[in-house]
Amino acid sequence: MPNAFEQPESTVQSRPGVLGQFATLAIRLVLAIILVLLAMSLLALAQAQAAEVRMKDLARIQGVRENELFGYGLVIGLNGTGDKAGTLFTVQSIASMLQRMGIQVPRDRVGVKNVAAVVITAKLPPFAKTGTTLDVLVSSLGDASSLQGGTLLLTPLQAADGKVYAVAQGPVSMGGFNVEAGGTGEKVQKNHPTVGRVPGGAIIEREVPTTVVENQTLAIVLNYPDFTTAGRLAEAVNGTLGSGLARAEDAATVRVRIRPDQDPMDLIAKLEHLKVEPDRVAKVVINERTGTVIMGSQVRVSTVAISHGSLTVQIKSEFQVSQPPALSGGKTAVVPKTDVTVQEEKRALSVVEEGASIGDLVQALNALGVTSRDLIAILQAIKQAGALQAELEIL
């Protein structure tokens, strides 16, 4: 006889299974929450790190700069694509060069079709030492059709002070070509054949003195002057080197005092890797030629209602023949018939609330179905209405 207090075996075995399922679900839920929180933390950390920029990408040390060099020279060895006979300065240059070499040639007997007068330009980097090579850009000065296959003769390169800092010579490397068919006038051209480069073609002969430390201080110059960014940079320097060593003189300059026991070069190396969050100006940049619109994240819009639509007027003319009845004495005539159709696109108003971000503005404009061209006109109208809290720059 079965015991009344005994429960069926199936019931006793099912309870641990239910409890185990609840425990498994609870563990999975806790793990999911932990993963979400971890992902949010990593995203916030990544955004914070992405907002910070190295000082060497924001600013430069005062005194560290490039210098422009230029010179006048000749490119020889062209295959009939040089300057024409009427280019007098090319003829004079060839005659003067030959005269310095002890060769007397009348100027009216000098041919220039294989020679081109050129201007050479280059940038002298800071701290460049004697013997360092530079790339130079060679540009035609006369009416040469191509510099392909030419060689630049020895040309001194001078700076704005009139002193020679480098000399250039070498084969001209072209990024294009110009081929003409004789007699027919047909030609094929790729890129710009009258400008070329001489890689490593210039050798520095004179060094430019560079002053970095002045009165035991360094001056850091921001690439884009901003008071907030300058203040943050000074705080970052003081937080790394010690309080009172850096101060912002103006929106573009941060002055850093060098301790007597500190090496200026080591100090600059440390300063270059400082992380600073630059402040961003609310600006909208518009290029009407290409229909490009760039809007910064700081752009805000006051409460404004936007309506966008278009009015289409279509005029269609048809010519019909008017045929009079027989024996009526009338004449056959052509009668014009004109149909005028006016169609206006109906669009509802889209309201942008106070303090809306750039994302809210774009969403509202997308709801109206505007194109980039229409967006430019709408942004200009919002600016005229005083609702766009940003600088509007039109390229």
Shared domain for 124 and 159, answered yes or no, is yes
Return the half-sphere exposure (C-beta side, CA atoms, 13 A cut-off) of residue 233: 35
Rounded Cα distance between 281 and 278, Å, is: 10
More confident call, 28 vs 311: 28
Q: What single DSSP character describes residue 108?
A: G
In this prediction, residue 152 has a pLDDT band, given cuts at 50, 70 and 90, of very high
Provide CB contacts within 8 A for 12, sequence distance 6+.
Answer: none
The verdict on 152 and 120 lying in the same domain is yes
Same-domain status, 73 and 135: yes
Considering only the C-alpha atoms of the chain, give the largest distance between any 2 of them, rounded to a whole number of Å. Answer: 141
Mean pLDDT, residues 252-269 taken together: 89
Length, in residues, of the chain? 395
State how far Cα 364 lies from the chain centre: 28
Residue 252, domain extent: 217-276
Residue 211 domain flag: no
288 and 368 both lie in a single domain: yes
For 339-349, what is each residue's pLDDT tens digit?
Answer: 655 455 555 55
Residue 103 within a domain? yes
Judge if 71 and 196 occupy the same domain.
yes
32 belongs to a structural domain = no
- Give the pLDDT score at 384: 83
324 φ, ψ (degrees, to nearest 5):
-70, 160
Q: pLDDT band at 132, cuts 50/70/90?
A: very high
86-100, 168-182, 355-369: which has the highest mean pLDDT?
A: 86-100
* Tokens of residue 24, six digits: 């498994």
Is residue 75 within 8 Å of residue 94, measured between CB atoms?
no
CA distance 302 to 24: 51
> Is it the case that residue 218 has pLDDT exceeding 80?
yes
Last residue of one domain, picked from the residues 204, 239, 266: 204
Residues 109, 223, single domain; the answer is: no
- Count of domains forming the chain: 3
pLDDT band, residue 108 (cuts 50/70/90): confident
Residues 241 and 347 in one domain: no
Same domain, 245 and 346: no
Q: Greater confidence, 360 or 4?
A: 360
What letter would DSSP give residue 87? -
The confidence score (pLDDT) of residue 212 equals 86
- In this prediction, residue 205 has a pLDDT band, given cuts at 50, 70 and 90, of very high
| pLDDT of the residue at 342 | 47
Q: Measuring CA to CA, how many Å separate 237 from each of 61, 93, 224, 260, 267?
A: 14, 56, 18, 17, 10
Residues 250 and 291 in one domain: no
What is the β-pairing status of strands 300-301 and 388-389?
antiparallel
Same domain, yes or no: 370 and 300: yes
The pair of structure tokens assigned to 145 is 């059709």
pLDDT digit string, tens, across residues 9-66: 444 444 455 556 666 666 666 666 666 556 555 544 444 444 788 888 889 998 888 9
